[in-house]
Structure 1
Amino acid sequence: MQELQIEWNGRTVTVDGKASTETDRFVEMLADEIWKYSGYTITSGYAASLFGHTGPCEEVEFTLPIICRDRFYAMIESLYEAGYHVMNPGEGEEWFRLFTSGAGIRIAREEGYFPNVHIRANPRDTDRYAYLKRLKVMVNGKRFFAAPLELLIPFILMPGDRGTPEQAAYLYTTCKDHIDETDMQNWMDHLGVERSLLPVQ
């Protein structure tokens, strides 16, 4: 098995030698479909797997810029044509309301429920910052976009279902030489995340 290698060049990260999982392949194909209609950034613990984390991943979240209703409908239609479905009850207008409010919708393959991706717009300042400052992560030649680690790690450590402490710890210890500690601590304070949740260096 090829050894995992991570190289940084500004806001571009190249990861080679990562073993691909079913969730990785699902996320890759879905990201390609969404990219036809909108940019996105990964704002959940799944991003740790892009950097080589091998633990379980229960939550994949994409945060998108707020797009107009017609573009949202076109994106959903394209996803259905590609073999995906919206797991939420209701239909177009209700899904658009959930999307733009930040509550989001869940997308899965039409034949199942797992894996799935939570997709929502970015009405909050933290989400907009995550999008504007996102990292381009090239994993075995495939392109993904993830929130900057200084904000992503606090996101994961917030109460809720964005990720696990293990994912945050993996990102922190694996990438600590490329993390602005002051920036991360400021985001933790802004989001009300306890600094004690970070692993001791």
Structure 2
Amino acid sequence: MEIEISKKTIKLEKELNLVDEFVIDVSKILGEYFNYVIVSGYLPILFGKVRGTEDVDVFIEEVSLEKFKEFCEELDRRGYEILNSKDAEDAYDILKERLAIRLSKEGEFIPNFELKFPEDVWGTRSIKERIKVVLNGNEFFISSIEMNIAFKIYLGSRKDIDDACHLYLLFKK
């Protein structure tokens, strides 16, 4: 894996896994409708940590119901579905309650994206201070490495601490 780091962009070349391909595909759709940021567990995996994950956590900016419905229509056109709602309005209501919706390829459950509106200043800040990743020429956005390390330490599970250590050791320069 080759990594090139600048202030607001991280470029890397690597062999893609199933989750990487899923992230690239869904991020293209997300980017058409929202400012978004991928946070938490996928980041260590993206940067070479060997472990599995079932979901990719994402904050999306809060938008109108109309724009969200357009997003849901596009998901449907591209073969994706929201797993935990009956329709776009229901999914939007879930997000407005600061809960997550999950989307995946139609008929599949894993991997899935867990989308939420930001709950607090940290979620909003992670969107504003997002970092562009260019993975094998494909662009998407992640939270800053520093913010992700701090969040993982805050969560405090063994897996989260291991993830924080992996990111710290890789990016400490």
Say yes or no: TM over 0.5. Answer: yes
Tell me the CA shift for residue 160 of structure 1: 8.9
Whole-Å separation in 1 of the counterparts to 2:50 and 2:131: 20
Match of 1:166 in 2: 162
Tell me the CA shift for residue 75 of structure 1: 0.2
Match of 2:4 in 1: 7
Which SS does the other structure have where 2:125 is aligned?
Answer: helix
Aligned residues: 172
- Matched AA of 2:52: P
Task: Give the structure with higher Rg (CA).
Answer: 1
Structure 2 gaps, min length 5: none
Map residues 133-152 of structure 1 onto 2, 5 A cutoff. Answer: 133-152=129-148
Match of 2:58 in 1: 62
Is the Cα contact below 8 Å between 2:28 and 2:140 reproduced in 1? Answer: no
Tell me the CA shift for residue 43 of structure 1: 1.2
User: TM-score, normalised to structure 1's length?
Assistant: 0.79
- Matched AA of 2:24: E
1:112 aligns with 2:124: no
Question: Alpha carbon RMSD of aligned pairs, Å?
Answer: 1.8
Tell me the CA shift for residue 159 of structure 1: 3.6
User: TM-score, normalised to structure 2's length?
Assistant: 0.91
Whole-Å separation in 1 of the counterparts to 2:15 and 2:132: 19
Tell me the CA shift for residue 86 of structure 1: 0.6
Whole-Å separation in 2 of the counterparts to 1:25 and 1:117: 12
Runs (4+) off by over 3 Å: 157-161
Match of 1:191 in 2: none
Is the Cα contact below 8 Å between 2:95 and 2:116 reproduced in 1? Answer: yes
Structure 1 gaps, min length 5: 178-201
